[in-house]
């Protein structure tokens, strides 16, 4: 790997926008095609807002190759890498283990939280100056950001991914492994029907998402 200009790396995780495989909890409201369209919109929003953000080197990690990613990354210089592992925890753990030998700090975000901005990324990087881990909790009990300055596989093991206790179980793992960590302000990610109103709660988001959804 040719290291970029920063000592920190920001990874965006994203699934390929396949019908029936993304945003499945929203299918009753949006249908499979609507869920795929929303997923593409969210991935694009996060990518265009953060990758590259200037203060970090940027990468997009997907679960599989897809023409959507080819078009999104075209002429950006941002590399596409493939996730490895049988569940989300293994895939995140692998990403940190792979990148931390090359960077002092690694941040990982998903593609579900349109509220993460540059100030949030800057706060996460600042937190890693005083703690080995930082988390951005999600309002539904998960987390929208995790950052590490050294690997810790244990915090990603035996976590009930997709449930409301993900962050609480992660805290238990951190304490069990005597890890210090900091938490940022909670943010909304878009997983449930009640989250959809957030997409039009700001003028910038409303303009971006109105072509995908009628809410």
- CATH code for position 189: 3.90.550.10
Domain membership flag for residue 2: no
**Span of 28-32, 49-53, 58-62, 92-96 with lowest mean pLDDT:** 49-53
HSE-up (13 A, CA, CB side) for residue 6: 17
Residue 1, in any domain of the structure: no
Residue 214 maps to a domain: no
Average pLDDT over residues 61-86: 95
pLDDT top residue among 65 and 29: 65
Does residue 48 carry a pLDDT above 60?
Answer: yes
Q: What's the pLDDT score for residue 3?
A: 44
The answer to whether residue 72 scores a pLDDT higher than 70 is yes
The torsion angle over the Cα atoms of residues 123, 186, 161 and 166, rounded to 10 degrees, is 100
Query: Is the peptide bond prior to 122 cis by the omega test (within 30 degrees of 0)?
Result: no
CA distance 162 to 130: 29
Q: Does the pLDDT at position 54 exceed 80?
A: no
Is 75 part of any domain?
A: yes
CA-to-CA distance for 46 and 24, rounded, in angstroms? 20
Question: Residue 19 is part of which domain span?
Answer: 8-209
Classify the C-alpha dihedral 60-118-113-203 as positive or negative.
negative
Residue with more model confidence, 166 or 193: 166
**pLDDT of 1 above 70:** no
Q: pTM score, two decimals?
A: 0.92
Query: What 3-state DSSP class applies to 68?
Result: helix
Give residue 215's pLDDT: 41
Count how many domains the chain has: 1
More confident residue, 202 or 109: 109
Q: Which of 16-25, 106-115, 176-185, 190-199 has the lowest mean pLDDT?
A: 190-199
Q: What is the pLDDT of residue 49?
A: 84
| 180 has a pLDDT exceeding 60 | yes
3 within a domain of the structure (yes/no): no
């Amino acid at each position: 790997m040719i290291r970029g200009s920063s000592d920190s790396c920001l990874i965006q995780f994203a699934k390929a926008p396949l019908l029936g495989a993304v945003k499945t909890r929203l299918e009753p409201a949006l249908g499979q095609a609507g869920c795929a369209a929303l997923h593409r919109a969210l991935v694009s929003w996060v990518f265009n807002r953060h990758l590259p953000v200037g203060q970090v080197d940027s990468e997009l990690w997907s679960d599989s190759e897809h023409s959507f990613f080819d078009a999104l990354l075209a002429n950006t210089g941002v590399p596409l890498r493939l996730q490895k592992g049988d569940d989300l925890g293994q895939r995140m753990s692998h990403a940190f283990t792979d990148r931390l030998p090359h960077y002092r700090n690694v941040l990982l975000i998903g593609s579900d939280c349109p509220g993460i901005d540059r100030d949030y990324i800057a706060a996460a990087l600042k937190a890693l100056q005083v703690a080995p881990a930082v988390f951005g909790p999600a309002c539904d009990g998960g987390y929208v950001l995790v950052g590490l300055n050294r690997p810790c596989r244990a915090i990603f093991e035996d976590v009930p991914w997709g449930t409301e206790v993900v962050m609480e179980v992660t805290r238990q793992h951190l304490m069990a492994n005597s890890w210090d960590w900091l938490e940022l302000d909670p943010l909304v990610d878009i997983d449930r029907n009640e989250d959809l109103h957030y997409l039009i709660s700001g003028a910038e988001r409303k303009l971006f998402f109105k072509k995908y959804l009628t809410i």
